[in-house]
Every structure is written in structure tokens, then in C-alpha cells.
Amino acid sequence: MKLPVKIKAYFLRKITSKHSPDFDLQKVSNVLFFRYDRIGDMIISTPVYRELKKAKPNIKILVLASKTNQGVLKNNPYVDDVFINNKNNLMSDLLLLLKLRKLKIDVCVEFDHSVIPHAIFRLKIIKPKKIISVLKDGRYGVKGNELKMYDVFSMRKENMHFRDIWLETIKPLGVIPTSNHYDLFTNSKQEKIAANFLVKYSNKIKIGINLEGAVRGKQIKDGELENICIKLKNKCEGLQIILLSAPQNFKRVKLLQEKMNLDYVVQSYKTNTILDVSALIKYIDIVITPDTSISHIASTFNKPTITIHENNQHSYKLFAPTSNLNRTVFSKSTNSLNGFSLDHLLKYSFEFIDLIKK
């Protein structure tokens, strides 16, 4: 073991050595969840907040979110308050963390399955009475169970989806989840905009294609997209393809759509928030995406979904789509979508189109 790793391991054991005070987990009045990462992770976590609030409505549910994923919780009736965290700058968050400390948090739930120093430092400042986390993998030469500041590690079975792994964290609070479906709460304005955009395609099968994910290298290339669109149209005359894009990619996708010059392919209106695109996906018939966040939105509304995933079965099982109808095409690469089978993607698309026609 290299010396810097040994030093890091020593300090991690040292700062996490103290047990929290005695406290009955059945007498919890508030719970703070750490979820300041990606949009998809927040979507998968939504069953946790709902199942806890439904079982124990008097518990105040707080979430430490990120600027990126906070929008997932907008209009969510199961979350009482959302605080915005800056993951990469502990000092800029110090006032917020001290504010949370003053709230005298009963329980913090940290969802990470690895040893995360920035989460540990935040927990030390907030100083909750009890800390619950997922059973942790070792890191920096430190095993998860060596971090004594964690009071309870929830169960984590092999091949479990992350939504079910994270639902295990509320069982120590005496909650047995009854549902693991996701929650997204679009408003009437967002739904009206989506409905008005789609009304002209009401007699067509509407396929939404999202071109890229948040992770670099996870994207459908321009030539692949055009090939997909043409072959889908050749299979089904009554088809409308709608290109979905993040706000920062809107102009690029617009130029791509114009370059293809296919009258059955349009770009969606600009969706500035996660709930904007959710409202649109809610009324689309089939979703094709390399992005797990979009697949989780489609799963929320139980839309037939085809995902494109790197050749990593472990990652896939953790983040797999959960719609009743879903298929996944795997690439040849472990860290990109290079070499995914276009034939398989089209086969699954035709399968879904035939089912919708029936």
C-alpha cells in the first residue's frame, strides 16, 4: 500500500471512530437524505421518500440535493425541504452544513455504496444522532464496517437494482416498502405544452429518441441516428420520430435534424428542466435512449423503452430500465457505446411498434 493511501486510511478511521449517541430509531422526527449527484440517481431514489412519508407521515423528510438533480423533486409531496449542496467545494457549503446542524437532525441516510470522504466530512459537520448507509465496499484500504460513525448498514444483495438497494435504508426505521415505482410530478402547464406539441401527431406512433447521456462517450452518432430513422420509417408508415435533447445541445440537434431533412423526424421543443422533458415523455409511445436518466423517466410512466448500454453487466443491473416493456442493446466496449448492434435496436423497435399497432 502506498504511503498516501495509508495516511488517508488512517485519517478516515480516526475521524469515523466515534459512535453516535443512543437514540431510538422508532422515535425519529426528521430524516436527511444525501443525494447530491446525478438526475438518474435522484429519480431512482424517489420511492424511498414516498414509502417513508406514507408509512410515517409525521416524519419530516429533507434532501441534500445537487443543482443538477434538484428539479426531480419539484412538486414532490413526499419531500418537505430540499437543500442544495456543492459536492466539490466543502467550504462553500459550510454555512449550509452548519444550518443543518442547528436543525438537530435525527437520522442521516447516505446512499453511497463506497467510502466517500466528502460525505463523511459533511456528516461530521451536520452531526446527526444516527447515520444509516448502504453496505459499503472498501476503499483506500478501509473496509466499510471499519467506519464506526455509521450506525446501521442496510442489506445489499447481489444483482439488486439500486432502487431496491436504497429502499432497504428505510427498513431500520420500521418501514416495509409496498411499492418501488418512481415519482415525477409534472404540472398542468408542462403537460399542456407537451399535449399541444404532440396533437398534430395524434394518429401516429410517436418514438422519442434521446441522442446522448450525461457521461461522455454515451451517445448515438449522427450517422447512426439517420440510419435508425430511415429504417424505422421503412417499417412503419404511420410513424413520427421526435428528437429529445438537453438544453445545452438544443442548437446542435436542431442543425442535425435540418441536415437529415426527413419530414417524419422533428426536434422537440426546448425542454429546460427535467420535468419539462418528463411531461413530453409521458405522452410518447416508445423511447430509445443511451441515457439512464431518460430511461428512468420513461420507466416512471411505464413507457416501452429501448436502452443502449456499454458492455458492463454490473452497471446495467444496478440501473436497468424498469418499464414492463424494455429491451437493452449492449455495445462491444466497456466504457462507450461503440459497436452496439443497430440490427438488435431495430428488431426491438419493430417488436414494440407491432405491439402498439395491435
Q: Report the distance separating Cα 310 and Cα 340, nearest Å.
A: 8
349: amino acid identity, one letter: S
**188-357 adopts what CATH topology?**
Rossmann fold (3.40.50)
Q: In the sheet where 326-330 sits, what is the strand order?
A: 265-267, 239-244, 205-210, 286-289, 305-309, 326-330
Which pLDDT score is estimated for 89?
73
Q: Report the distance separating Cα 192 and Cα 184, nearest Å.
A: 16
Q: Report the distance separating Cα 296 and Cα 302, nearest Å.
A: 9
- The candidate with the shortest Cα–Cα distance to 185, out of 254, 244, 273, is 273
Q: In the sheet where 60-66 sits, what is the strand order?
A: 81-85, 60-66, 30-35, 107-110, 130-134, 152-154
Does this model's pTM top 0.85?
yes
**3-173 adopts what CATH topology?**
Rossmann fold (3.40.50)
Q: Report the distance separating Cα 356 and Cα 350, nearest Å.
A: 10
Provide φ and ψ at 222, rounded to 5°: -55, -45
Decide: 147 and 110 in contact? Cβ < 8 Å: no
Cell of 150: 455509521
- Between vectors from CA 176 to CA 323 and to CA 128, what angle results, nearest 5°? 105
Residue 27 DSSP class: G
Which pLDDT score is estimated for 1?
47
pLDDT < 50 regions, the chain: 1
Q: Report the distance separating Cα 357 and Cα 286, nearest Å.
A: 12
3-state helix, strand, coil in the chain (%, to 5): 45, 20, 40
Which pLDDT score is estimated for 139?
82
Other residues' Cβ atoms within 10 Å of the Cβ of residue 336: 17
88 burial type by CB count under 10 A (0-12 exposed, 13-18 middle, 19+ buried): exposed
Locate CATH 3.40.50.2000 in the chain. 3-173, 188-357
Q: Report the distance separating Cα 162 and Cα 319, nearest Å.
A: 6
Q: Where are the alpha helices (DSSP H) in 203-310?
A: 222-235, 250-260, 274-281, 292-300
Other residues' Cβ atoms within 10 Å of the Cβ of residue 26: 9
Q: Report the distance separating Cα 81 and Cα 124, nearest Å.
A: 21
Which pLDDT score is estimated for 146?
82
Which pLDDT score is estimated for 334?
83
